[in-house]
Amino acid sequence: MNPRTFPLLATIAIFLVAYAICSAQYPTIFSSRVAGNLLTDNAYLGITAVGMTLVILSGGIDLSVGSVIAFSGVFIAVMLRDTGLHPLVIFALLLVVTTLFGAAMGGLIDILAMPPFIVTLAGMFLARGVAYMLTIDSVPINHDFYSFLQKSYYLMPGKGRLTFIGVLMLLTVLAGMIVAHRTRFGASVFALGGGTATARLMGVKVRRTTVQIYAFSGFMSGLAGIVFSIYTGSGYPLAAVGTELTAIAAVVIGGTLLAGGAGYMFGTLIGVLTMGLIQTYIVFDGTLSSWWTKIVIGVLLLSFILLQKGLVHLSTRQRGARI
Amino acid sequence: QTVGFSQIGSESGWRAAETTLTKQQAEERGIDLKFSDAQQKQENQIAAMRNFIAQGVDAILIAPVVATGWDSILAEAKEAEIPVVLLDRKVDSSDDMYLTAVGSDLVHEGEVAGKWLVDTVGDKDCRVVELQGTTGSSPAIDRKTGFEKGIAGHDNIEIVRSQTGDFTRSVGKEVMESFLQAENGGENICALYAHNDDMAVGAIQAIKEAGLLPGKDILVVSIDGVPDIFKAMSEGEANATVELTPNMAGPAFDALAAYWKDGTMPPKFIQTDSALYTMQDDPAGQYEARKDLGY
Amino acid sequence: MIRSLRRVAPQLMTLVVLAALVSWFFPSFLQIDMSDGRLVGPVIDILKRGAPVAILAVGMTLVVATGGIDLSVGTVMAITGAVAASALVSGWGVPVALILAVGAGMIAGLWNGCLVAVLGIQPIVATLILMTAGRGIAQLITEGRILTYSDTGFGFLGSGSILGIPVPALLWVLTGVLVALLMRRTALGLLVEAVGVNKRASALAGVNARGLIIVVYMASGLCAALAGIIATADIRGADANNAGLWLELDAILAVVIGGNSLLGGRFSIAASVLGAMIIQTIDTGILLAGFPSEYNLVIKAVLVLAILMIQSPHLASEWALIRMQIARRRAAREQEV
Amino acid sequence: MLLTIQSLTKTFPGTKALDGVNFDLSAGEVHALLGENGAGKSTLIKCLTGAYRRDEGEMHLDGRLISPTSTSEAQELGIGTVYQEVNLLPNLTVAQNLTFGREPRRFGLINSRAQKLAALEMLQGYGLDIDVGRDLSSYSVAIQQIIAIARAVAVSGKVLILDEPTASLDAAEVRMLFDVVRNLRDRGLGIVFVSHFLDQVFELTDRLTVLRNGQHVVTEQTAGLDRLQLIHHMLGRDLEAVEEQGHTGHAPIVERPAMLHFTGIGRAGVIEPFDLTVHEGEVIGFAGLLGSGRTESAELLFGLRRAQTGEARDQSGPISIETPQSAIAAGFGFAPEDRKTDGIVAELSIRENIILALQAQRGWARPLPRAEQDRLAADYIKRLDIRTSDAEKAIGDLSGGNQQKVVLARWLAMNPRFLILDEPTRGIDVGAHAEILKLIDRLTEDGMAVLIISSELDELVVAADRIIVVRDRRHVSELTGSAVTSDTIMQAIAAEDHAPAQEVAR
Ligand SMILES: Nc1ncnc2c1ncn2[C@@H]1O[C@H](COP(=O)(O)OP(=O)(O)OP(=O)(O)O)[C@@H](O)[C@H]1O
Ligand SMILES: Nc1ncnc2c1ncn2[C@@H]1O[C@H](COP(=O)(O)OP(=O)(O)OP(=O)(O)O)[C@@H](O)[C@H]1O
Ligand SMILES: [Mg+2]
Ligand SMILES: [Mg+2]
């Protein structure tokens, strides 16, 4: 077996064990209802994380995603309020805008050789700033199409709801898997993660690929923004603060190397579900104060990463890694 | 009975006090309170409500972080026949989606503060600086609107500078410093209106450091009624505050108890007082009364 | 000397341009008065307000030089502030409060350093853990409220002044100078840079890379403690939830505006500290200019992007390349004709 | 002419790397590109493939003006390249590396089965039996080198460029590579071959071009030149015959006092426990095939990997070799095989790279005075003939061979008692090669013991007093004294396990 898959396998194993432990303590957690909730509640996060995974695989980072989600919600809500356009048209417009926004960041990163951390940090300020400029109020979305989307779900046995946005998230992950692992573009992304200079010598069109990567992430953030607006039925410039960090954490838990070049899109799904499971567990417990909630999230994150490291270490130990 | 409580977070002393009081009230009534902290995120609140529903609690209390976007989750709760009580902030969903809302009228609070200023300065010209709450948050928007409503028609009072102080003491202080700089060392400022007490406390320090006397050279009026502002008032450094009581849970539990007992429907909005406190209202005593409430 | 001046020239230029820009919106920007034996004026405000970010940037520069990043500094500020305030409230006096706060900062740094260097967790994630959990710890100490103390001696660190200059300003200058001297007068600077560029090769050459990384994170924790003390002294209270919130991003931004590479290697503390002043000038400038607050973020983002773009050495070469290509194409076309 | 380059010029800050160089290549020839370290060979190649932007000059391929701005463009033009530092992606599998950019696809998606098959097919003829589904990084530099060659061969439709492809290959692999190259030449490709091994140049190439200091010196038929003339062209002076030969003193070890004893050093899955006694002033050579475990042995000795068993001691008692730091404290030095990832600290200056180990040993609190640093740097730049504009240049901007010299200088500056050199002369030109062998000689006279790992049997024969043969992760035999010849070493390496190579008597 390729040692490269160890982090992924470790992630899956730990998730399953954790799910089993949680279910043992609160049997309701093992129900289609909670499973459905996990998908629905984390749909926007999952979609963002797909874009983030690709960016991280290329050795970059995208801090703008949370702000772009907020911007998207506000954009949709304001457009719906002020123009008579159909939501689908607005979605298309929005995706064009966020994709271009991502592409512009990618262009800056490559052309000016600026670190992604900083360019996307500026992007983060900018996107939220523009959202503020559109409106500082939270704007409700009242449109039949939206109600339709919100109400479209499949009732699983056990009253669990498999919602539209949950399914959309799964489909996005699938698409992400194909893009990352089954296309030449994906191969170039991994190549960039292995080292820009080397990738260039191997014949990767670095500039084009970088632009495409951030455009992809921009598109995914826009899509996540749409999902978020369906989820909350409104647009709010303060929404999704800090989502970028949650998404990064999910990607890393999913076994993707933050330095780039190694990881699996599927792991990201597991990472997202793990974050969701931690949340669910804390809600079910219901005794933690605000501050203990933060501490416990941190501790669970740490134990997860340590467990994963430990498992991977055990399985590769005999080679006696060099210092 | 089990009640799930989805709190926004613990972003201010006031909110911490609300949490403490809610837990206290639940304990007094023998209610099993499931507490969930949303860390200022609506998505976390929605997820928490979903999980409360999955758990089959008997009622849900929620302090919504934002007014919009609750329709579908409220519908889900309704479907599961779980009564929902909104605490301290309102939502824009139709009012048959929830049992009742307990809270204060944020616009009214701002209006009370504005009216106080109108009464205090009389006909004198007064240039006011305003410390807003976090940009985009509903208290910031409503308290601004309310204050403007309060001073409407009094052309001698004018808001000359208005910036966000993020509801925090340190930003409140920083922004106040720049206001002082910009307004001729503070000479041109007659009054400060802060959207919450924390910012006012920070601003008071800035005023003192600039060599002016808060409460005299610059009038200070703010909202919330946290202990520290009463302390400042007792020292003559602040002039007025509009109280927002952190005990929202008490009325909420009362309404729930009645509902559980015989299905009594409470009124859709249970408004708490927005009492105005000034230097005349024994601030030192108010401070003592509040300082252990977990603010 | 001349070399270090040349190193910080872009940052100095940026400051000058910004000062001119702000003066345009707010003419008395550069005016400094003396009142009650202390200097007052927007510039003095910037020197004072910029202190936390400047001090954080000092520690962050070192961490970044080793190729790491420390997202937890804002949270560590909150923790140390809470520790100091609760010590003061308990009546233990200023010295104890300071020692406890500094100790807490170093422990936080040690924790980060161990996660990174010993357990090999990637810096962003390792420090993200403390960033999340640490604020909980800080709130645990203050129990969620703003711990207000009444000790004026401690408050001096935030709002006092010596020879008319605000104490926080003196503190960041002092920190910057001391750390820079420590780095350049000993071999630490070289070793940190070596580890940042190529950890494997450095370890193989006998550099104690692991120890060095831990030390660097501890230094960052120490700086965060200082910043936390200043913030707590400034508002005479510890606000566990808001102290230092998002300041880690400003600190990183300062380091990058200072021209340091996030990939590690060569670093300049002076440039980072100037970067912090640039950021503070932007922030204060926006306040002074009196725009509505919903524009703050956009203005800041645009200014920061502009600064980074102008400072980028690639801008010139890309521009030259484009011009050359156009020239070549034109020449080729003329040949064809 | 297949490819012509006219008056190519390339300037780096402070260096004119290429100065109006002309070069041509015809179809069906192997053309050697020669010159000292830093002469501009790699720069020429990178300008040709678009990896660098050239300042001036014209290039024609098949009579058409070409101006690739990226390596992918060059690849599309049919120019395949193996760059000097292995330029593959360690995080991808061998198969992905081999087929990169040309992955077999079905319905627009990469077909990973076909990809593996294609990769296996590309590797045929190189005698490599490896799992193409594993990450490239799990293989040694040498294997990576072969993979890089296989990849370049596959993409080169017209021109194949090999920049020091043989630097880390052993004799058998070199032969294999030559077969492949001759085959391609016969198919009409033009091949550019860069190497510092003159024997290989004479064996393989039809014509050669010599560069010196970025300038074109001569282009000739290889057959029309002899070795000394060629060296003269390269260096601009003559190299004394003895100098090129180095010393050949295999003094009997009995005369020398033992300095270090390693007993039972080993680690499961890495290398079987072995004993090693090091005497003062002796040169030990490790010989073996690629992947036999020579590097791993050395890494255990230096604490770069922790040994599971065994101990090290000197006259005064046990010494710790748990980490490189403790090994250095015990007076060891180690110049690693993979200079790019383990050797150079690319952004730092030559001076800083040279003093790094010394400074690490002194500790951070006792900085080496600047004057002393400058003196050391200047000294080694002169002694090892490091070609650079000044000591403050970043080492990453040096040519490959000059980087190697700096890494050597770092350890020489430490003056260790036991110096391990893993492929020390990789990529080093003839002049410097001789210089380094001479230096080793001088050091051992002062009592330093040296352990050399090299795939160059001739080099081992010249330098080493004693050869230890490593095979299949075991130290199998030892040759000393007059028994040290290329042939005996060959035999010992090739001997079957159950017929152990005879211990050659002393
Ligand atoms: N990126 C760079 N920046 C600055 N100088 C460089 C750079 N790359 C190469 N040089 C300089 O250009 C000259 C030619 O280097 P090049 O790598 O072409 O030499 P080479 O002939 O390949 O040597 P070697 O045999 O050691 O590989 C050297 O003096 C080197 O220092
Ligand atoms: N022919 C091979 N087939 C499979 N794996 C190999 C082969 N050669 C080397 N390897 C792998 O590469 C790793 C590195 O070996 P390495 O090349 O460092 O050993 P070595 O004896 O020092 O060889 P050299 O110094 O000649 O490169 C080994 O652990 C081995 O797993
Ligand atoms: Mg070269
Ligand atoms: Mg080797």
Q: Write out pLDDT tens, residues D414-434.
A: 989 999 999 888 888 888 888
From first to last of its 506 residues, chain D has per-residue pLDDT tens of 899 999 999 998 878 899 999 999 999 999 999 998 889 999 999 999 988 988 889 999 998 999 888 888 898 899 999 988 767 898 899 999 999 988 888 888 999 899 999 999 998 878 778 889 888 888 877 788 889 989 988 888 899 999 988 877 877 888 888 988 898 899 899 999 999 888 899 999 999 999 999 999 999 999 988 888 888 898 887 766 544 444 455 555 556 788 899 999 998 888 899 999 999 889 999 998 877 889 999 999 999 988 889 899 988 889 998 899 999 999 999 999 888 889 999 999 999 999 999 999 999 999 999 999 999 999 999 988 888 888 999 999 998 889 989 999 999 999 899 999 998 888 888 888 888 888 888 888 888 999 999 888 888 888 888 999 998 888 988 988 788 888 888 888 887 654 444 443 33
Cα–Cα distance between D484 and D466 in angstroms, integer? 7
Which chain B residues are Cβ-neighbours of A140 within 8 angstroms? 67-69, 92
Is D339 in contact with D292 (CB distance < 8 Å)? no
Which ligand lies nearest to the CA atom of residue D471 in the structure? 2
Ligand nearest the Cα of residue D428 is: 1
Taking CA–CA distances from A200, the nearest residue in chain D reads D71
Nearest to D424 by CA among D450, D387, D447, D397: D450
Q: Does D142 contact ligand 2 (Cβ within 6 A)?
A: yes
Question: Looking at chain A, which subunits does it touch, using at least 3 CB pairs closer than 8 Å as the criterion?
Answer: B, C, D
Which of D79, D100, D301 should we substitute to test contact with A (largest number of A Cβ atoms within 10 Å)?
D100
**Ligand nearest to the CA of residue D300, numbered in listed order:** 2
Verify whether the Cβ–Cβ distance C301 to A298 is below 8 Å: no
In this structure, the dihedral spanned by the alpha carbons of residues B151, B154, B160 and B166, taken in order and rounded to 10 degrees, is: 0
Contacts of D57 in chain C (CB under 8 A): none
User: Which residues from chain C sit within 8 angstroms of residue A290, using beta carbons?
Assistant: 136, 139, 144
Report yes or no: B172 and C287 within 8 Å, Cβ to Cβ: no
DSSP A185-246: HHHHHHHHHH-HHHHHHHT--HHHHHHHHHHHHHHHHHHHHHHHHHHHSEE-TTTTTTHHHH
Contact B41 A240 (CB under 8 A): yes
Residue with tokens 């005075």: D369
Cα Rg, chain C, nearest whole Å = 22
Tell me, using a 6 A CB cutoff, whether residue D267 lines ligand 2: no
Under a CB-based contact definition with an 8 Å cutoff, are residues D361 and D327 in contact? Answer: no
Cβ of D260 closer than 6 Å to ligand 2, yes or no, is no
Ligand 1 lined by D39 (C-beta under 6 Å): yes
Q: Tokens in use for D109?
A: 């998606």
pLDDT tens sequence across C286-310: 988 888 878 888 999 999 888 888 8
Going by C-alpha positions, the residue among D450, A114, B18 that lies closest to residue C261 is A114
D334-373: string of b/e by CB count within 10 Å (b at 16+)? bbbbbbbbbbbbbbbbbbbbbbbbbbbbeebeebbeeeeb
Contacts of C294 in chain A (CB under 8 A): 129, 132-133, 136
User: Is D401 touching ligand 1 by the criterion CB < 6 Å?
Assistant: yes
Site to substitute for ligand 1 among D9, D15, D339, most atoms within 8 A of C-beta: D15
Residues 6+ apart with CB under 8 A from B71: A150, A233, B93, B97
DSSP string, B14-56: HHHHHHHHHHHHHHHTT-EEEEEE-TT-HHHHHHHHHHHHHHT
Give chain D's length: 506
**What does the DSSP 8-state code read for residue C118?**
I
- D212: helix, strand or coil: strand
The subunits that touch chain C, with at least 3 C-beta pairs less than 8 Å apart, are A, B, D
Q: What is the pLDDT of residues C75-129, one digit of tens each?
A: 999 999 999 999 999 989 999 999 999 999 999 999 999 999 999 898 988 999 9
Which of D92, D112, D328 would you mutate first to test chain A, the one with the most A CBs within 10 A? D92
Cα gap B4→B101, rounded to integer Å: 15
Let me know if residue A180 belongs to a domain: yes
Name the residue among B187, B219, B182 with its Cα closest to residue B203. B219
Number of structural domains in chain A: 1
Can you name the CATH fold of D253-331+416-505?
A: Rossmann fold (3.40.50)
- Check if D141 has its Cβ closer than 6 Å to any atom of ligand 2: yes
D30-35 sheet: strands from edge to edge = D79-82, D159-163, D190-194, D30-35, D207-212, D215-221
Neighbours of B, requiring at least 3 CB pairs below 8 Å, are: A, C
Q: Per the structure block, which two tokens stand in for C301?
A: 């983002």
Nearest to B51, CA basis, from B64, B68, B38: B38
d(CA C159, CA A12): 53
What is the spatial distance between Cα D439 and Cα D458, in angstroms, rounded to a whole number? 17
The verdict on a CB contact (< 8 Å) between D347 and C197 is: yes
pLDDT, one tens digit per residue, over D248-301 is 555 555 567 888 999 999 988 888 999 999 998 899 999 988 778 899 999 999
Return the best residue to mutate from D132, D134, D143 for the ligand 2 pocket (most ligand atoms within 8 A of CB).
D143
Taking CA atoms only, the protein residue closest to ligand 2 atom 19 is D291
CATH fold for domain D3-82+141-237: Rossmann fold (3.40.50)
Shortest-distance Cα residue to atom 30 of ligand 1: D398
Alpha carbon distances (Å) from D204 to A210, C115, D180, D195, D459? 42, 54, 11, 11, 20
Residues of B in contact with C285 (CB under 8 A): none
Q: Which of D342, D361, D367 sits opposite C186 (nearest CB)?
A: D367
- Judged by a CB distance cut-off of 8 A, whether residue D108 touches chain A is yes
* Cβ within 8 Å, pair C287-B175: yes
ipTM of the complex: 0.89
Whether the pLDDT of residue C268 is over 70: the answer is yes
CATH number for the domain that contains residue A274? 1.10.3470
Contact residues, chain B, for C144 at CB < 8 Å: 10, 13, 15-16, 19, 294
Contact (CB, 8 A) for D400 and D85? yes
Please indicate whether residue D35, judged by its CB atom, sits closer than 6 Å to ligand 1.
yes
Across chain A, which distance is largest between two alpha carbons, in Å?
66
Picking from D224, D201, D146, the residue whose alpha carbon sits closest to that of residue D430 is: D201
Q: Which residue, among D91, B38, C122, C252, has the nearest Cα to A248 in the 3D structure?
A: C122
Which ranges in C143-289 belong to alpha helices (H)? 152-159, 167-185, 188-197, 199-204, 209-235, 247-257, 269-289
CB nearest to A291's CB, from C136, C296, C302: C136
Q: Which of B173, B240, B171 is nearest to B202 (CA)?
A: B173
Q: Give percent of chain C with pLDDT exceeding 70.
A: 98
Ligand 4 centre distance from Cα of residue D403 (Å):
18
Interchain proximity B134–A228, CB inside 8 Å = no
Separation of alpha carbons C317 and D53, rounded Å: 11
Residue D345: closest C-alpha in chain C: C198
Residue A1 at interface with chain D, using a CB cutoff of 8 Å:
no
Closest CA to B194 of B168, B155, B232: B168
Integer Cα distance of D140 and D343 in angstroms: 16
| Residue A135 near residue A78, CB atoms below 8 Å | yes
Answer yes or no: is A323 within a domain. Answer: no
Q: With an 8 Å Cβ cutoff, are C132 and A299 in contact?
A: no
Indicate the domain borders of chain D. 3-82+141-237, 92-134, 253-331+416-505, 349-414
Read off the pLDDT band of A44 (50, 70, 90).
very high
Lowest-pLDDT choice from A123-127, B194-198, C54-58, D37-41:
D37-41
Q: In whole angstroms, give the CA distance from residue D94 to residue D101.
A: 13
Interface test with B, best of A283, A294, A295, A301 (most B CBs within 10 A): A283
Structure tokens, A231: 């989820």
- D61 Cβ neighbours under 8 A, 6+ residues apart: D2, D3, D77, D78, D79, D158, D159
Domain assignment of residue A191, yes or no: yes
